[in-house]
Amino acid sequence: MNTRAVVLLSGGLDSATTLAIAREAGHDCYCLSIDYGQRHRSELDAAARIAQALGAVAHKVIHIDLGAVGGSALTDDKIPVPVAGVQPGIPVTYVPARNTIMLALALAYAEVSGAQHIYFGANAVDYSGYPDCRPQYMRAFEALANLATKTAVEGRALQLHTPIIELSKADIIRRGVALGVDYAMTVSCYQADAAGRACGVCDSCRLRRTGFEQAGLPDPTAYK
């Protein structure tokens, strides 16, 4: 049985939980973080801490510049991060093609590392405005992966796992706590400072805080 898995690890709450789930499933976890030109590096620092704490076999960081493309409040400082509350529709924090690019890099890393599993912490409940977090997109990408890779063509099928895609934020937190995730290590804020302290008012902060409230657990987030 192939136990190797590539786990996309942003440094946030969702990806930390996903790593813990992959580890519980018995996988040897090869974590991959993407430095794509996001507003801050504190989430990448968090990813390194989480990978070590949760026993990853390896942690690789790949650097790309999605800021050169722009079009998102997370990669263009001229577009403000929304702070007035979660609104309907696709928010300006959507990064064009980001998940497709990250999954493609995870797919390449899986081929090179000999992994037949990719774990991705996408969530379609709290982030339903993002088109590349939907279950049908994940199924389509898995189908693409098995058409486009040497590994799959030679008979070693690749599986894309999205274990939290239909969970509420509260349920994600409960699952992670049960698996020993220390959420104080994670950074979810779209505009955290260099120390990883959260703004408390962006969409991600609001969803995270509500998740802890609904889970009935104390929020360990460090706020500015």
Q: pTM, whole model, 2 decimals?
A: 0.95
Is the distance from CB of 7 to CB of 31 less than 8 angstroms? Answer: yes
Token digits for 78?
A: 């001229």
Is the distance from CB of 110 to CB of 128 less than 8 angstroms? Answer: no
The pLDDT profile of the chain, 224 residues, written as one tens digit per residue, is 669 999 999 999 999 999 999 999 999 999 999 999 898 899 999 999 999 999 999 999 999 999 999 999 999 989 999 898 877 788 999 999 999 999 999 999 999 999 999 999 999 886 667 899 999 999 999 999 999 999 999 999 999 999 999 999 999 999 999 999 999 999 999 999 999 999 999 999 999 999 999 999 999 999 98
Is the distance from CB of 10 to CB of 47 less than 8 angstroms? Answer: yes
Is the distance from CB of 129 to CB of 88 less than 8 angstroms? Answer: yes
**What is the predicted pLDDT for the residue at 87?**
76
Domains of the chain: 4-215 (3.40.50.620)
Where does 93-134 show beta strands of DSSP type E?
117-119
**What is the predicted pLDDT for the residue at 40?**
86
**What is the predicted pLDDT for the residue at 97?**
95
Query: Tell me, what amino acid is at 34?
Result: I
Token digits for 221?
A: 């987030």
**What is the predicted pLDDT for the residue at 127?**
61
Cα separation, 133 vs 141, whole angstroms: 11
Where does the chain show beta strands of DSSP type E?
4-8, 28-35, 58-63, 117-119, 159-161
Is the distance from CB of 130 to CB of 162 less than 8 angstroms? Answer: no
